[in-house]
Amino acid sequence: MQTISLDGRAAWIRLGISLLIAVVGNVGMWAIVLILPSVQAEFGVDRADASLPYTLTMVGFALGNYFIGRAVDRFGVTRSLIGAAITIAAGNALAAASHSVTMLAAAQLVVGFGTAASFGPLIADVSQWFMRRRGIAVALVASGNYLSGAIWPMLLSGVLAEHGWRVVYLILAAITLAVVIPLALRLRHGVPEEASQIASGAAAIRAAATGLSPRALQWLLGLAGVGCCVAMSMPQVHIVAYCVDLGYGPAVGAEMLSLMLLGGVVSRIASGLLADVLGGVRTLLIGSALQGLALVLYLPSGGMTSLYIVSMIFGLSQGGIVPSYALIVREYLPAKEAGQRVGFVMMATIVGMALGGWMSGWIYDLTGSYRMAFINGIGWNVLNLGIVLLVLSRSRPRALPA
């Protein structure tokens, strides 16, 4: 029988395949951001209603992270990814046929659910193949989400301009089936059993050191995830619409979104390297503090140049936040439940993105500008920082095996 070692060649090949899956599989949550102004114009709705499909995307994404995470624990990542690819394609086809915002939102719920397989569940699977380099491994596969957001809006903007958003969806349906299913078949090997046993023992010791039960810690992390991602969603979801309002046009907004997400990729990789030294909790604290600072910088920025700069700063600040939650779960909670535990906390972060995406549109409709939406995000970020500081204050220095 072939011996498969942690942190070995097989693990890194698996990471590379997982990253490719993530780049394609996550496109559903970014396509809706790109077409938001077109949807608002076609259906003649206000900004909050036009944001509804994105909100439903994130609701489906949240549910998918939890339920597909449980499916990965039970059936394995390959079957889960194949089922998700079919679900995404079906949702995209339904979206292309939509004749109302309500129908589009329902289709995006399906797309979001399937898209989730390429985020939390994939991160949980990869995390079990690494011990010494788990931080950078998780960061790299999580970067697939941001790479997807940086690459696809730029590639699809021309299709959107020439053929409309419905053709965009049909193209995405075909690409998802053609790419994700063959790659998923390459991930059929299971994680070595001894790895799960070693990791679970170390996690139990760390969890006991906090004085918190696994459930209490999981719920605290979930609340922190909601807070940080309500804050994160304002620039990510509304940057294109914000640029349209300022008269810069959707193409400039798409460039800023891509710049923001490319910065997020750099941030995720740097945070992964940092997490291998400092651990997930401290890395999360640093990322959350920097995100809050970047949000403050948006308040005085209105010129095109300043928005490009601040969007890059924002991306460089917050990219490592969400992967840090997965690392904390793997450091403190049982490895055999990695899929559902990571999925739950990822679900909470996505609930925050969904809530924040809608809330920012609602605040815009009430006030006529995004200024109060940025301030609202800063307040939620403060909540996140408080919870992270609480967990850190109850944790002992990180001196245990990963």
State how many domains the chain has. Answer: 1
Instruction: Label residue 1 by pLDDT band (50, 70, 90).
Output: very low
pLDDT of residue 45: 80
In a domain, 79, yes or no: yes
How far is residue 285's CA from residue 89's CA, in Å, rounded to a whole number? 37
In a domain, 401, yes or no: no
The pLDDT tens digits for 27-43 are: 887 788 777 778 888 88
Instruction: Label residue 149 by pLDDT band (50, 70, 90).
Output: confident
pLDDT of residue 2: 47
Q: What is the mean pLDDT of the chain?
A: 84
% the chain with pLDDT above 70: 91
The reported pTM is 0.76
How far is residue 135's CA from residue 127's CA, in Å, rounded to a whole number? 8
The secondary structure element, H or E, covering residue 394 is: none
pLDDT of residue 175: 93
Statement: residue 165 has pLDDT above 70 = yes
In a domain, 2, yes or no: no
Mean pLDDT confidence for 118-126: 89
Instruction: Label residue 194 by pLDDT band (50, 70, 90).
Output: low
In a domain, 240, yes or no: yes
Comparing 109-113, 198-202, 350-354, 366-370, the range with the smallest average pLDDT is 198-202
In a domain, 168, yes or no: yes
In a domain, 398, yes or no: no
In a domain, 4, yes or no: no
pLDDT of residue 204: 56
> How open is the CA angle 72-73-78, to the nearest 5 degrees?
30
pLDDT of residue 397: 45
pLDDT of residue 401: 43
In a domain, 400, yes or no: no
Token look-up 């951001």 returns 33
Per-residue burial over 194-208, b if 16 or more Cβ lie within 10 Å, else e, is ebbebbeebbeebbe
Q: Write out the residue range of the structural domain in which residue 227 sits.
A: 9-393
Instruction: Label residue 396 by pLDDT band (50, 70, 90).
Output: low
Among 307, 312, 300, smallest CA distance to 252 is for 307
- Continuous H helices in 99-213: 101-115, 120-127, 134-163, 165-184, 193-210
Write phi, then psi, for 111 (nearest 5 degrees): -60, -45
Mean pLDDT confidence for 85-107: 92
How far is residue 135's CA from residue 132's CA, in Å, rounded to a whole number? 8
pLDDT of residue 80: 94
At 138, list the tokens: 């998780």
How far is residue 371's CA from residue 360's CA, in Å, rounded to a whole number? 10
The pLDDT tens digits for 236-277 are: 888 888 888 888 887 888 788 888 878 888 888 898 899 888
pLDDT of residue 64: 92
Statement: residue 338 has pLDDT above 50 = yes
How far is residue 31's CA from residue 39's CA, in Å, rounded to a whole number? 12
> With helix as H, strand as E and coil as C, how does 267-278 read?
HHHHHHHHHHHH
Instruction: Output the domain CATH number for residue 345.
Output: 1.20.1250.20
How far is residue 288's CA from residue 317's CA, in Å, rounded to a whole number? 8
Among 204, 199, 210, smallest CA distance to 401 is for 199
